[in-house]
Amino acid sequence: MNQAALRPLDGITVVSLEHAIAAPFCTRQLADLGARVIKVERPEGDFARRYDTRVDGLSSHFVWVNRSKESLALDLKSEAAREVMDRLLASADVFVQNLAPGAAARLGLSASELQARFPRLIVCDISGYGNDGPYRDRKAYDLLIQSEAGFVSVTGTPDEVVKAGASVADIAAGMYAYSNILSALLLRARTGKGSHIDVSMLEALTEWMGYPLYYSYEGAAPPPRMGASHSTIYPYGPFTASDGRVVMLGLQNEREWAAFCTHVMDDAALATDARFCTNAYRSDNRAQLAELINARLGALTGAQLRERLDRAQIANGDVNDMRDVWQHPQLAARGRWVDVDSPVGPLPALKPPGINDSFAYRMGPIPAVGEHTQAILQELGLVLGDDGGIA
């Protein structure tokens, strides 16, 4: 691959008033594809910079979603900030913001105002609940949206609801903002006009809830919470081997069930047992079947169990912790980790999913607060005074 090959978004400029995760996650995807992303931060910086200090003093959240960006520190409430934003947006292609409800409008940066002045500009608002409706002005955080979208209600054990271990509402909103921006760029290439994109975290995560929603159609009971096991397919979930290794396995059809009984359970007759001969029966009688499976698998080490599952062509995987994922042999074999620069030196970063043989993803530095302020202002024909103001 030619490392200098043109990237899909080379020449596209994105200006983002962003903090936390949803908008920064969106704009990092754009930066990965070559877009110039100017991250406008408060003088004290995005508050996500201070979530923790786990990455050699930097925040784990911030390192994850802010590589390949330029940081412009700006007091948006100052008079000078309006001129800076006007000059930035006059030549920008995309404007992204996930400020508190109504904050962008108070700064004169609503979609209607911006599109009147910059008709080719693509404006993307990311919020908890969207730009209208009775929940419009409510603050929204990832856990709250996981709860509002019903995600938490179907995740966990029969006795306790559990949130996802990752920021799934933020990620969902960020990815839908990213894909909407890409489609808006394609549309602008045909029409010459920008778009206003209104992305709601609630709507993004509710889209992901399609299966449990339809399973509960017209008041039917929702899928039961089954921990790490599947709520309606069995056996499909974690099983513990004799050495304590937890192996995740999943059966999808009766052919796999027969192979599981023959090659893993050493009991071919079990496949036609009237209690377990269909998935519905296996799910209904899972307590009885779990007892049989655990008795057999408890005599095998994790390696032996996975060898039998592979021989039977039964899908399986290790239940890895974070240390295991850092060292995952498949990620290493495919060269998925590279170093990126940062204020504390080189840090490992995972390449974006999807290998494209036409270009290399941009894997640029993680910026310090305001690192590019002076250069950006000079580019705009402005000068930063000794008092911090703009001349």
Q: What is the pLDDT of residue 2?
A: 58
> Which 3 state secondary structure label does DSSP give 123?
strand
Contacting residues for 164 by C-beta, under 8 A, at least 6 apart: 146, 151, 155
List of the chain residues with pLDDT < 50? none
Q: Which two tokens stand for residue 31?
A: 């930066």
Q: What is the CATH number of domain 236-318?
A: 3.30.1540.10
For residue 58, the 8-state DSSP code is B
Contact 366, 347 (CB under 8 A): yes
Q: Which two tokens stand for residue 142?
A: 């990832």
CA distance 217 to 232: 16
Q: Which two tokens stand for residue 384?
A: 């930063």
Neighbours of 65 (CB within 10 A): 26
Q: Which two tokens stand for residue 239?
A: 């099983």
Q: Could you state, in order of their start, the residue ranges of all structural domains in the chain?
A: 13-209+331-379, 236-318
Find tokens 């201070």 and name the residue. 50
Contact 149, 205 (CB under 8 A): yes
For residue 129, the 8-state DSSP code is S
230 catalytic, yes or no? yes
Q: Which two tokens stand for residue 296?
A: 């057999």
pLDDT of 92-101, one tens digit each? 999 999 999 9
Contact 335, 34 (CB under 8 A): no
What architecture does CATH give domain 13-209+331-379?
Answer: 3-Layer(aba) Sandwich (3.40)
C-alpha closest to that of 68 among 23, 25, 37: 37
What is this structure's pTM?
A: 0.92
Q: Report the sign of the C-alpha dihedral through residues 205, 177, 33, 88, in that order.
A: negative
Backbone region of residue 118 per phi and psi (left: phi > 0; alpha: psi in -120 to 50; beta: other values): beta
Q: What is the pLDDT of residue 298?
A: 87
Q: Which of 230, 263, 328, 372 is catalytic?
A: 230
What is the residue type of 344?
V
Instruction: Please count the residues of the chain.
Output: 391
Contacting residues for 190 by C-beta, under 8 A, at least 6 apart: none
Long-range interactions of 254-259: CB distance < 8 A, separation 24+ = 254/278, 254/279, 256/312, 256/313, 256/314, 257/282, 259/312, 259/313, 259/314
